[in-house]
Each structure stands twice: as structure tokens, then as C-alpha cells.
Amino acid sequence: MRQAYHDELNAISAALVDMTNLVGSAMNRATTALLDGDLALAESVISHDEAIDQLYREIEERSLELLARQQPVAGDLRVLITGLRMVADLERMGDLAVHVAKVARRRYPQSAIPAELRATMLEMGQVAQRIVTKAGSVIASRDLDMAAELEKDDDVMDSLHRQVFAELLDGEWQHGMECAIDVTLVGRYFERFADHAVSVTRRVVFIVTGQRLEPATASAVSSA
Amino acid sequence: MRQAYHDELNAISAALVDMTNLVGSAMNRATTALLDGDLALAESVISHDEAIDQLYREIEERSLELLARQQPVAGDLRVLITGLRMVADLERMGDLAVHVAKVARRRYPQSAIPAELRATMLEMGQVAQRIVTKAGSVIASRDLDMAAELEKDDDVMDSLHRQVFAELLDGEWQHGMECAIDVTLVGRYFERFADHAVSVTRRVVFIVTGQRLEPATASAVSSA
């Protein structure tokens, strides 16, 4: 009985790691779709979000069932409750990948991203994928060093986000208002994606250390 | 013992309603600060967010303690878990009010909002406050009709959000890029604020009816 219970706890944790892989892949493909103006790829991100939502509901239901059936105490209770929070963060990260893909779709056959911002946006996409991959490792291994590394990646994301605004504000913008709005929003989607990944790992840190860190809400523009 | 337990459940519910009042007031003051270029008011929203975060932590800890101590089953378990989700939505709504206030502060002594958008932004602020007030009533009374009304208010918010983009894109924008970025982001903050309120009420609907509605993620631009 206890063995089955711990197997189920581990299975939920493994499903959370699967979810980091799915949302990481979604954001990676959304970034490529955005940069290359690839409609089919954008559509695949949008339609695949249902699989992420499905996994979200499964993890939620399994966690609630375990809570109701096993009445876990102390540590296990905290793990399950924290898992419910993490899965909500991850579901939202999937939505943010969809938002990026929808910008790509709306601007097809053009790319929404002008040449001078391609390198920055590519890097934002790469940092996003790196950060969520590390979040998966932190969930799997509870590795606090990797959690600290991830915070640094988030600083890189914030710096890239500031670069996007600097490009928009340098007085030489030639790409019109629609493109400026897209770039502003896409920058925000990437930044929020990273914030949610930070939030996921901070919840793991809280489980391990009992130390609560504040939610990540840094915003290059609005926190200035 | 059971009486004390139900008193505590009710107290948590009342604290959630208090939290809707706090974030509604924060967004109302942030909107005024934004439209009037009122620095003191913007600062008050920013510094007052700590009180919202404090209430968030209190509700979280009381809920976790009740979960651990009373091992609630079925209905009460669902109420407590749902409360933990709602309080996270409400905390995030407080952050969004702070984001609006920070735009006001950064642009002081000017208003970040040009004349032709003042009426639209004022209405977004009013809808935001109305929607979170209704969310409080839904938490307090579990009134499903009011939950349905709130969904209509969210449609109004989406429509106002589209008006903001229409203004930015009508080819007559005279206010420069910084203002365009601020308007784009502030529009997004209002829209997300309303989405979180919808999410809060849908969680109540789920408690009452068992019927799960999808999270609100409509976005006037990116869902197009």
C-alpha cells in the first residue's frame, strides 16, 4: 500500500518533468516559427497545446485523488500541493508558447521579427528552452545548484528583454507600429515564460529548504 | 472541534474576499495614477503591494495548516485546494496593478496615456474594478448568475483591448514609440487582470457544479 502510494508520488513528479519537456519543445518550435515565418510549425504548436492541457488535467486529478485517498501529512502534503502549483505554472508556459506561435501565424508569410532583432529573439527562445530544461532537472533531482543557475539564466532573459526595448526606442525604428506591438508582446511572453520557470524551481527550493523566495515578477520596462 | 474547523474554513473564505477588495482598490488607484500622472498615488499602490503579499502568505499558510491538521475529505478538500489557486490568481492581480502604477511613475510628471485613449483606459480600469468586485461576491455567495455576468464583463475588457490596438494601428499615432510600448503593455496588464478574475470565478463554479471551464487566456492580439 505505502509502496503503491510512493510509486504514485514518483509518477506525478515524472509527469511534471514530462510537462517541462513539452512546454520547452513548444516554445522552441514557436520561436522558430516566429523567426522563419513558418506557418505549419506555428499551427503545430497551437494544436499541440491540447496535449499539454490534457497532461495538466491528468496531473491535477491524480494529485487530488492522492490527497483525498491517502491523506498525506507534512512533507508529502507539501510536495503534492507544490506540484499542483507547478503544474499551473507549466500550463501557463504552454499558453505563452501558443501566444508566440499565434503572432507568427498572424504575420505569415512574413516574419514578425525584423532583421536587427532576430539574434536577440533567437537567444530569448534559446534561454527559454534552457531555463525550462533546467526546471525539469530541478524537479527530477532537487538540485539546488541548478536552481541557482536557472536564476542566472533568468537575469540573461531580463537583459535580452531590455535589449528589445532599446532597439524599439533607439529612434531608428523602420518597421511600423504593428511590428512594434508584436515585438513588445513577444518580448513580454518570453520574459513571463522564464518567470514561470523560476517560480517552478523556487517551489522546489521551498520543498527542500523550507525557505520561501518571492515570486519572480521582474519586468524590464514596468519594474523600472 | 468541527465548529472551530468550519469557522476557520469560513475565515479563509472571508480573507479571500478581503483580498479581492485590496487588489480592486490597487487597480483603481493605479488607473487614476496612470491617467492623472499622480506620483504619490502610484507610489502608494507600489508600497501597498506588500500588504497584499502578506495576506497571500497568511491565507496560504492557514490553508496548508488546515489541510495538514484536519485532513479534510471530498468537498472541503476541494474548497481548500481551490482557495490556494484563487489566492495565487489574486496575488498576481496585485502585481499587475503594481505594473500599471510603475508605468505611471516612470512617465511622471506626464501621463503615459494620450488624450484619445483616456476614455478607453478609464473604462478598462473601471471594468477591472467591477470584475474583481464581482469575483469577491462570487467567492462569498457562490452566485453562479454573477459568475456569468463577470464573463460578459471580460468580453467588454477584450473589446476595449481591441480598441487600444485599433488606436495604435490607425496610422495617425503621434505619441512616439515609448508611449506606444506603454500603451501596449498597460492594455495587456488590464486584460490579464480580468483573465485572472475570470479564473477565480471559474474555480468557484467548479466547486459548485463540478464543471470545469477552460482557463481564460483570450488576448485581443495574440489570439487573432
Task: Measure the CA–CA gap between B164 and A186, rounded to whole angstroms.
Answer: 17
What is the interface pTM, i.e. ipTM, of the complex?
0.90
Per-residue pLDDT tens digits for A105-119: 999 998 899 999 999
Per-residue pLDDT band at A69 (split at 50, 70, 90): confident
Q: Is the Cβ of A202 closer than 8 Å to some Cβ of chain B?
A: no
Amino acid identity at A91 = E
Contact call for residues A144 and A160 (beta carbons, < 8 A): no
Q: Is A174 on the interface with B (CB under 8 A)?
A: no
- Report the largest interatomic distance among the alpha carbons of chain B, rounded to a whole angstrom: 67
Nearest to B13 by CA among B196, B129, B128, B136: B136
Has residue A100 got a pLDDT over 90? yes
Q: Which of B177, B191, B193, B196 to mutate to test the interface with A (most CBs of A within 10 A)?
A: B177
**B78 Cα to chain A: minimum distance (Å):** 8
User: What is the arithmetic mean of pLDDT over B28-40?
Assistant: 97
Query: In whole angstroms, how large is the CA radius of gyration of chain A?
Result: 19
Q: Is the pLDDT of residue A220 over 80?
A: no
pLDDT of A223 reads 39
User: Which of B36, B34, B45 lies closest to B104, judged by CA?
Assistant: B34
Q: What pLDDT, on the 0 to 100 scale, is given for residue A215?
A: 58
Sign (positive or negative) of CA dihedral A137, A142, A143, A144: positive
Give the residue among A132, A224, A219 at the shortest CA–CA distance from A184: A219
Q: To the nearest whole angstrom, how far is the Cα of B57 from the nearest Cα of chain A?
A: 10
Partner residue facing A169 (CB), from B100, B106, B178: B178
Q: How confident is the model at residue B194 (pLDDT cuts 50, 70, 90)?
A: very high
Write the pLDDT tens digit of every residue in A8-42. Answer: 999 999 999 999 999 999 999 999 999 999 999 99
The pLDDT tens digits of the residues spanning A117-174 come to: 999 999 999 999 999 999 999 999 999 999 999 999 999 999 999 999 999 999 999 9
Asked whether the beta carbons of residue B77 and residue A67 sit closer than 8 angstroms, the reply is: yes
CB distance A214 to A148 below 8 Å: no
Q: How confident is the model over A90-103, as a mean pLDDT?
A: 98
pLDDT value at residue A198: 97
- Mean predicted confidence (pLDDT) in A46-64: 95
Q: Would you call the peptide bond into B114 cis, given omega within 30 degrees of 0 as the criterion?
A: no
Residue B107, pLDDT > 90, answer: yes
Q: Walk me through the domains of chain B, giving residue ranges and CATH numbers.
A: 2-209 (1.20.58.220)
- Mean pLDDT of all residues belonging to chain A: 92
Place B149 in a pLDDT band, splitting at 50, 70 and 90. Answer: very high
pLDDT (0 to 100) of residue A44: 98
The pLDDT of residue B62 is: 94
Q: Give the per-residue pLDDT at B76.
A: 86
Q: Is B108 on the interface with A (CB under 8 A)?
A: no
What pLDDT score was predicted for residue A219? 46
Q: Which of B140, B157, B141 is nearest to B195 (CA)?
A: B157
Considering Cα of B179, then A181, then B221, then B24, what sign does the dihedral take?
negative
| Interface contact flag, B91 A185, Cβ < 8 Å | no
Is residue A210 pLDDT above 70, yes or no? yes
Residue A127's pLDDT is 97
> What is the torsional sign of CA A207, A210, A215, A220?
negative
A with B: how many residue pairs have Cβ under 8 Å apart?
101
User: Is the CB of residue B166 less than 8 Å from the CB of residue B175?
Assistant: no
Per-residue pLDDT at B222 exceeds 50: no
Mutate to test the interface with A, among B164, B214, B221 (most CBs of A within 10 A): B221
Q: Enter the pTM of the model.
A: 0.93
pLDDT beyond 80 at A216: no
Distance CA(B88)–CA(A83), nearest Å, equals 14
Q: What is the mean pLDDT of residues B53-75?
A: 89
SS3 assignment for B122-182:
HHHHHHHHHHHHHHHHHHHHCCHHHHHHHHHHHHHHHHHHHHHHHHHHCCCCCCHHHHHHH
Residue B42 near residue B108, CB atoms below 8 Å: yes
